[in-house]
């Protein structure tokens, strides 16, 4: 379902005219109100008036996560704190947290975009949405919540954790839409099995909207088969807004539609910063063109994706981004080979009996990098003969070597032995940095 016909199906020429107008307004505003941007523009020898077309955006400097940390907490805000009605922040696990502020209008826009996103996934005002994203400083829970209310749907603000209680609520309240991380959806399925609850038979979920961590097409197939639902990918990041920057449509499930009337996307070479043509993979860069609280110009997301401009059968005219395959700062370089966790996950999910819970450990022995993958298997497989487990380990090692061109040690471990997370799954432990 298309929530907003005016913008989501707008001819490209008209959409780009709106983008340019909103971009120029945003540039003028940050130049006047955010000292950081004024200094950055002056250093680059550019002023807002120099941007005459969308192509001229390439003249603008990038904004990075480090810039947000360097201006912690409120240095990038474009309005006084008296106009900020909500503040979100990252966990700060890798440094100072990144802080974002929202005006009342920002919240209204975010709510509408999340309503658009939910509608694209097939949700309507008749649905009951089981929202298992975390509430709090993390943007996921409240983003979905406000979008569901704007759509007119009923929302269950269950948040993360207490999984057995969540299964009980799903059975009793009969929600029809599930929102959470993809890894947590499979954890819900596993716990439901332990409780004697069959997702397909006993629950009413028909679609799941999953994001906040990279996941593969193989994992989508696994979720859809086990839960008996349609699994739709959603994309967002707190620095730009939160969830609802882009989403797959349920009709195609082939790339995420970016809401370009609010965000201008680019793909760049992560090493040179050069803008790449459509269809070429690289780092996603986003510019906000309607945010009041903390507008960001050419923000380097570090997410690896590809932009596609071909028409979609759903009728939306906005550009689509490919599923995020990893991050430039999550990329592992092991003995000169670039490795993303999602690549390893794709190999793991090809093998029957292997669960989607894994951790990649990189260490250094005798000055050489060594890679180990620990992955859970089902109880049935783990209780099988040791020889059978060893054979499967060797088979996976061989497939990873053939697919990625790198040797690694695979260790199959018992169910529930890998630490669970209610938010983003921690996939990599790099001991070389310790």
The closest alpha carbon to 270, from 36, 59, 62, belongs to 62
| pLDDT per position as a tens digit, 3-54 | 988 999 999 999 999 999 999 999 999 999 999 999 999 999 999 999 999 9
| pLDDT per position as a tens digit, 99-116 | 999 999 999 999 999 999
| pLDDT per position as a tens digit, 325-344 | 878 887 787 877 778 888 89
The closest alpha carbon to 28, from 20, 70, 7, 58, belongs to 20
Residue 356 confidence (pLDDT): 86
Rounded to two decimals, what is the model's pTM?
Answer: 0.86
- Rounded average pLDDT over 310-332: 90
- The CA-CA-CA angle for residues 339, 305, 297, to 5°, reads 120
Give the integer Cα–Cα distance in Å for 428 and 297: 30
- Rounded average pLDDT over 367-392: 87
- Rounded average pLDDT over 181-201: 93
pLDDT level of residue 364 (50, 70, 90 thresholds): confident
| pLDDT per position as a tens digit, 40-58 | 999 999 999 999 999 999 9
Residue 433 confidence (pLDDT): 56
Give the integer Cα–Cα distance in Å for 386 and 383: 8
3-state SS class at 34: coil
Decide: residue 261, CB within 10 A, 0-12 exposed, 13-18 middle, 19+ buried: buried
3-state SS class at 288: strand
pLDDT level of residue 155 (50, 70, 90 thresholds): very high
Residue 94 confidence (pLDDT): 45
> β-strand 326-327 against 320-321: which pairing, if any?
unpaired
Average pLDDT over the chain reads: 93
3-state SS class at 146: helix
Residue 423 confidence (pLDDT): 63
- Asked whether 97 and 123 are in contact (CB, 8 A), the reply is no
- The CA-CA-CA angle for residues 263, 125, 105, to 5°, reads 35
| pLDDT per position as a tens digit, 404-421 | 888 999 999 999 898 876
3-state SS class at 179: strand
The closest alpha carbon to 370, from 430, 433, 328, 434, belongs to 430
pLDDT: which is higher, 169 or 420: 169
Q: Report all structural domains of the chain as residue ranges with CATH numbers, in order of start.
A: 1-327 (3.40.50.12780), 332-433 (3.30.300.30)
* Phi and psi at residue 364, to the nearest 5°: -130, 125
Give the integer Cα–Cα distance in Å for 10 and 16: 10
pLDDT: which is higher, 163 or 96: 163
pLDDT level of residue 93 (50, 70, 90 thresholds): very low
Q: What percent of the chain has a predicted confidence (pLDDT) above 90?
A: 77
Residue 379 confidence (pLDDT): 85
- Asked whether 278 and 232 are in contact (CB, 8 A), the reply is no
């Amino acid at each position: 379902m298309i929530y907003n016909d005016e913008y989501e199906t707008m001819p490209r020429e008209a959409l780009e005219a709106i983008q340019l107008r909103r971009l120029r307004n945003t540039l003028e505003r940050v130049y006047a109100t955010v000292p950081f941007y004024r200094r950055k523009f002056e250093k680059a020898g550019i002023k807002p008036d120099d941007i005459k077309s969308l192509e001229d955006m390439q003249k603008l400097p990038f904004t990075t996560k480090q810039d947000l940390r360097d201006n912690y907490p409120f240095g990038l805000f474009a309005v006084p704190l008296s106009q900020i009605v909500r503040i979100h922040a990252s966990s700060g696990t890798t440094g100072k947290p990144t802080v974002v502020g929202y005006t009342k209008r920002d919240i209204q826009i975010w709510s509408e975009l999340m309503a658009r996103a939910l509608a694209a996934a097939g949700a309507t005002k008749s649905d009951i949405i089981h929202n298992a994203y975390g509430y709090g400083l993390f943007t996921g829970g409240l983003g979905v919540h406000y979008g569901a209310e704007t759509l007119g749907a009923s929302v269950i603000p269950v948040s993360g954790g207490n999984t057995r209680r969540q299964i009980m609520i799903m059975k009793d309240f009969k929600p029809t839409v599930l929102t959470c991380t993809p890894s947590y959806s499979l954890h819900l399925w596993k716990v439901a099995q332990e409780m004697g609850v069959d997702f397909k038979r006993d629950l009413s979920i028909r679609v799941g909207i999953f994001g906040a961590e990279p996941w593969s097409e193989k994992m989508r197939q696994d979720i859809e088969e086990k839960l008996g639902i349609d699994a739709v990918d959603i994309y967002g990041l707190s620095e730009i807004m939160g969830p609802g920057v882009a989403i797959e449509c349920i009709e195609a499930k082939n790339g995420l539609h970016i809401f370009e009337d609010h965000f201008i996307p680019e793909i760049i070479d992560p090493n040179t910063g050069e803008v790449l043509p459509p269809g070429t993979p690289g780092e996603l860069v986003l510019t906000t063109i309607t945010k009041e609280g903390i507008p960001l110009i050419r923000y380097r997301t570090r997410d690896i994706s590809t932009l596609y401009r071909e028409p979609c059968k759903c009728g939306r005219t906005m550009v689509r981004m490919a599923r995020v395959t990893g991050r430039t700062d999550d990329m592992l370089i092991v003995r000169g080979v670039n490795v993303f966790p999602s690549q390893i996950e794709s190999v793991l999910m090809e093998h029957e009996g292997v669960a989607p819970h894994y951790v990649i450990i990189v260490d250094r022995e005798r000055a050489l990098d060594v890679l180990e993958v620990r992955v859970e298997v089902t109880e049935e497989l783990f209780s099988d003969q040791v020889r059978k487990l060893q054979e499967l380990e060797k088979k996976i090692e061989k497939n990873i070597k053939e697919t990625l061109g790198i040797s690694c040690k695979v260790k199959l471990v018992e169910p529930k032995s890998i630490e669970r997370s209610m938010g983003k799954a921690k996939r990599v432990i790099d001991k070389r940095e310790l």
